[in-house]
Structure 1
Amino acid sequence: MLLALAALVPSVVQLAGAPVTPGLHQPTEIVPPTASEASAGRSAQPSSRRRAQVALPRSVPVRLSIPTIDAQSTLIPLNLNPDHTVQVPPLTNPAQAGWYAPGPTPGETGASVILGHVDGYDEPGIFYHLRDLHPGDPILITRKDATTTRFTVYRTEQAPKTNFPTTKVYGPTTRPELRLITCGGTFDRQTGNYLDNIIVFAALAGAS
């Protein structure tokens, strides 16, 4: 079973043991912003009292590490399908995470988005424990330029796919931010998809 797409985001998780329906998704006409578009507006997120981190130049992310939930993966680029839905990592390898390549890279001004499965083919996915993250937890992204960016979680959210917070996830920000997305909530056996998305919001805390 493939992830269902909610609003404009892929539902990136499967229920272990559930039947697989290749290519199942909900089409959308909304396209996430590109890197330049995401860098142009104001941030809708709080924490203006925090000291802003200096944005980094563009560099492709190559590895993700979330120590709190013991999640590690290389990162593959994801683009848009012909119907304007966002691609998801291959379900044949649920431990693989991917990043939305048309958007900002981690460390650039804007919201960089990483997608991963919660499970698939009776195996836990890379984001199986994503719902367990809390404000203050670190997320590390290694980039092709050998820089390791460190993001700090400031909010988690569970949203129905029928009312996905598109602007909050893909919209412009005034600082470097990160979004992690997977599936969650109730599993609908008729459609073979979870009904909700789990979304983690994080802000750049440093780089080395």
Structure 2
Amino acid sequence: MTQTSQLDQLVSACHWIGERGWAPATGGNMSIRQDAEFCLLSESGKDKGSLTRDDFIQVKIASNRVPSGRKPSAETGLHTLIYRLFPEAGAVLHTHTVNSTVLSRVEKGAALELQGYEMQKTLAGQHSHLDCVPIALFDNDQDIDGLAKHIEQFAAQNPLRYGFLLRGHGLTCWGKDVNEARRHLEGLEFLFQCELQRRVLESQ
């Protein structure tokens, strides 16, 4: 698929995310890999439900440098990290949903473990509800460069697939292209909602 088609699909995915309230008040950021050297990342301070092709900024993956001088989203360093860590990653979606934000604070462990849900099979490579799918959890940090280094160190010793959660912040997920990243986002959001409701019911 051409880069133009991928960017059009990303714009469409951003509108879909905006309609669901998954990136409220200009929160969240989304990107695609342009080539081995650059990605295209949403500009800071823009409503994700009304983004256009012109709202995506070219960013150098190796250095976070922005040739145009425009201001990309605050979590630029997390997007470029994913593209460096996972050469197969073609799109990254970062959202601020209620389910992911609340679960990231309720879960005190190093990962949110999902098991027993048929919808786990929406995630690439998952074939059974019996598998345990850990979604890594990291403490939120305004120092994005430091946070990226911490995640990189974690990924060097632990499998990191589909996405990760930042406590009190939200979900960052990815896929080989926009369609897969979007499927992972929708599948994980469904799983998060199920897990949150299960915990509420079991606590009563």
**Structure 1 length-normalised TM:** 0.31
Greater helix share, structure number: 2
**Structure 2 length-normalised TM:** 0.32
Higher relative contact order (CA 8 A, sep 6+): 1
Greater strand share, structure number: 1
